[in-house]
């Protein structure tokens, strides 16, 4: 897997969860990223910018392209063991890598203990997801499961209250989110599947005042996460 960009490469080098195999830098580059790579024993190669532009998927490499091992997923137990009161995000069928990357970034900033995704009908952690997360994916636990509904049940069995984020729920600010909690975010357009919503302990929604009746999945998720942060103080 290849990641590009100053922030993404720097965070991958700092992370214990990502193995950087090699680093390609624009000729003449110097600084902390190169020093960190050499400190970790990563092979550094310098090439002309024109060469990097050809290697890049989107010409947004900022002078740094790293080859890393494929993303290492964790188990749900690893997420639950991270905190006495776990804070979890469950994604139900999210397909847009840009939304996924943005959600990972918001989760890392909000102190989420981990994200749970499905193996099917869900975008995996790809190069694009890593880039959009701006390096946050290197610091967030992500579990990939066969069945989201079974994952919801496991969370509940372990004392986690699971809430679906959907437009027909109780206003999120009126819901107690101070304990062990998981927020389920649905796919773009389709939302959360009916059975998954039924499996949850409740449904919460965001108050909308405009003429558009829905928010982008990553934006809605970010607002919900920071309501949890607000309540937890």
Same domain, 111 and 225: yes
Q: What percent of the chain has pLDDT over 90?
A: 69
pLDDT number for residue 43 = 93
pLDDT number for residue 134 = 84
| Closest alpha carbon to 217 in 119, 98, 132, 135 | 98
What residues make up the domain containing 20?
A: 2-68
Same domain, 24 and 54: yes
* Domain end position, chosen among 35, 50, 68: 68
DSSP-assigned states of every residue in 51-79: HHHHH-SSS--TTEEEEEPPP--B-HHHH
Q: Give the global pTM.
A: 0.83
Dump pLDDT digits (tens) for 169-219.
899 999 999 999 999 999 877 889 999 999 999 999 998 888 777 789 999
Same domain, 82 and 62: no
Residue 83 in tokens? 């905190």
Same domain, 35 and 115: no
Same domain, 90 and 51: no
pLDDT number for residue 190 = 82
Query: Residue 228: is its pLDDT beyond 80?
Result: yes
Kindly tell me the sign of the dihedral angle through the C-alpha atoms of 35, 40, 43, 49. negative
Same domain, 59 and 134: no
207: helix, coil or strand? coil
Dump pLDDT digits (tens) for 14-51.
887 778 999 999 998 888 999 999 998 999 999 999 99
pLDDT number for residue 69 = 85
Please tell me the total count of domains within the chain: 2
pLDDT number for residue 56 = 87
Same domain, 126 and 199: yes
Q: Are 112 and 89 in contact (CB under 8 A)?
A: yes
Same domain, 81 and 58: no
What CATH number did the domain enclosing 101 receive?
Answer: 3.40.1280.10
User: 7-11, 105-109, 195-199, 227-231: which range is least confident on average?
Assistant: 7-11
| Closest alpha carbon to 131 in 108, 112, 104 | 104
Same domain, 22 and 122: no
Same domain, 55 and 87: no
């Amino acid at each position: 897997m290849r990641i590009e960009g100053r922030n993404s490469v720097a965070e991958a080098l700092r992370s214990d969860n990502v193995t950087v195999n090699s680093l390609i830098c624009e000729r003449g580059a110097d600084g902390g990223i190169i020093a960190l790579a050499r400190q970790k024993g990563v092979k550094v190669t310098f090439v002309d910018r024109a060469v990097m532009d050809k290697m890049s998927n989107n010409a947004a490499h900022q002078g740094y392209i790293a080859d890393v091992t494929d993303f290492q997923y964790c188990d749900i137990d690893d997420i639950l063991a991270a905190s006495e009161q776990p804070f979890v995000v469950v994604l139900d069928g999210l397909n847009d890598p840009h939304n996924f990357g943005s959600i990972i970034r918001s989760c890392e900033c909000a102190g989420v203990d981990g994200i749970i995704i499905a193996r099917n009908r869900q975008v995996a952690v790809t190069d694009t997801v890593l880039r959009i997360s701006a390096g946050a994916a290197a610091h967030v636990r992500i579990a990939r499961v066969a069945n989201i509904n079974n994952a919801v049940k496991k969370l509940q069995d372990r004392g986690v209250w699971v809430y679906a984020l959907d437009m027909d729920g109780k206003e999120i600010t009126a819901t107690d989110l101070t304990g062990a909690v998981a927020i389920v975010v649905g796919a773009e357009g389709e939302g959360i599947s009916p059975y998954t919503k039924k499996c949850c302990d409740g449904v919460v929604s965001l108050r909308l005042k405009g003429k558009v009746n829905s928010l982008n999945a990553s934006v809605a998720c970010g607002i919900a996460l920071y309501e949890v942060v607000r309540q937890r103080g």
